[in-house]
């Protein structure tokens, strides 16, 4: 009895000690979950910065676009540098507009369809960039608890084997092994909870930004449609 109490007194139950005392498989599970947690926070920081930048760029572009500046001047200023979001959709539509008129476009319907298709392609590409790596958050959020549970099950099985070998059910003998096993579940939850919260948050943000681009596409398509009618109808009447 005194030997067991002495061993319990010298048992280190700190997190680092529990990790070091864990079995090989449990250690691999813990390391993998810690890596997933680091990857989750890297995505969170990246998305937080990128979405904030995208919102500012959207606001700045809309302010300039609706200020009454000539579309030709705005196109020339934006086409000379890399663009994204609303600006990329505007440049794609204007590029198709200019190419079509340079080649002598005659069909208003065909020109409108080409412009809409150019904006749709740009919208799909921009939406894909906004949603990039969100699937990783969803995967970590759904899989991490089960991976941690797997480590816990393996750890508890190892603990029971140690109990059988020592032929003692004293709490001082059982507790360290079970604590090592439960640490894997705890790390799994630490990785999963932020991933789930971040996925829901950024999925909503991506949806709002995509909706803004879709709304701009509809408005700009209507503007170009009116200009197409003004340019092509007199030409069609003259013919």
191-223 confidence digits (pLDDT tens): 999 999 999 999 999 999 999 999 999 999 998
Q: How far apart are CA 106 and CA 3, in angstroms?
A: 97
Q: How far apart are CA 210 and CA 124, in angstroms?
A: 9
pLDDT at 43 over 70: yes
φ, ψ for residue 46, nearest 5 deg: -60, -45
Q: What is the mean pLDDT of the segment spanning 98-118?
A: 79
SS3 83: coil
Q: Who has greater pLDDT, 131 or 229?
A: 131
Kindly give, in sequence order, each residue whose CB lies less than 8 Å from that of residue 36, ignoring residues fewer than 6 positions away. Answer: 140, 144, 191, 195
Mean pLDDT of the chain: 83
pLDDT at 17 over 90: no
Radius of gyration of the chain from Cα atoms?
Answer: 30
Residue spans per domain, the chain: 28-63+85-234
Q: Return the pLDDT at 181.
A: 79
Q: How far apart are CA 147 and CA 178, in angstroms?
A: 17
What is the CA 138 to chain-centroid distance, rounded? Answer: 9
Cα–Cα distances in angstroms (integers) from residue 90 to residues 10, 70, 78, 137, 236, in the given order: 70, 13, 9, 31, 27
Residue linked to tokens 């204007």: 94
Residue linked to tokens 């899989």: 143
In this prediction the pTM is: 0.81
């Amino acid at each position: 009895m005194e030997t067991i109490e002495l061993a319990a007194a010298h048992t280190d139950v700190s997190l680092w000690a529990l990790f070091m005392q864990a079995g090989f498989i449990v250690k691999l599970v813990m390391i993998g979950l810690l890596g997933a947690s680091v990857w989750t926070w890297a995505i969170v920081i990246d998305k937080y910065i990128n979405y904030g930048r995208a919102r500012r760029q959207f606001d700045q572009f809309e302010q300039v676009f609706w200020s009454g500046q000539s579309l030709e001047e705005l196109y020339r200023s934006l086409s000379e540098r890399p663009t994204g979001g609303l600006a990329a959709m505007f440049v794609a539509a204007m590029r198709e507009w200019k190419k079509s008129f340079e080649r002598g476009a005659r069909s208003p319907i065909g020109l409108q369809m080409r412009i809409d298709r150019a904006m749709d392609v740009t919208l799909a590409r921009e939406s894909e960039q906004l949603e990039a790596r969100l699937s990783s958050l969803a995967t970590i959020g759904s899989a991490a608890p089960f991976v941690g549970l797997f480590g816990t099950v393996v750890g508890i099985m190892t603990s029971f084997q140690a109990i059988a070998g020592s032929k003692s059910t004293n709490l001082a003998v059982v507790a360290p092994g079970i604590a090592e096993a439960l640490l894997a579940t705890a790390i799994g939850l630490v990785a999963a909870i932020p991933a789930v919260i971040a996925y829901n948050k950024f999925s909503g943000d991506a949806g709002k930004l995509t909706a803004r681009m879709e709304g701009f596409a509809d408005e700009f398509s209507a503007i170009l449609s009116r200009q197409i009618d003004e340019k092509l109808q007199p030409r069609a009447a003259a013919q």
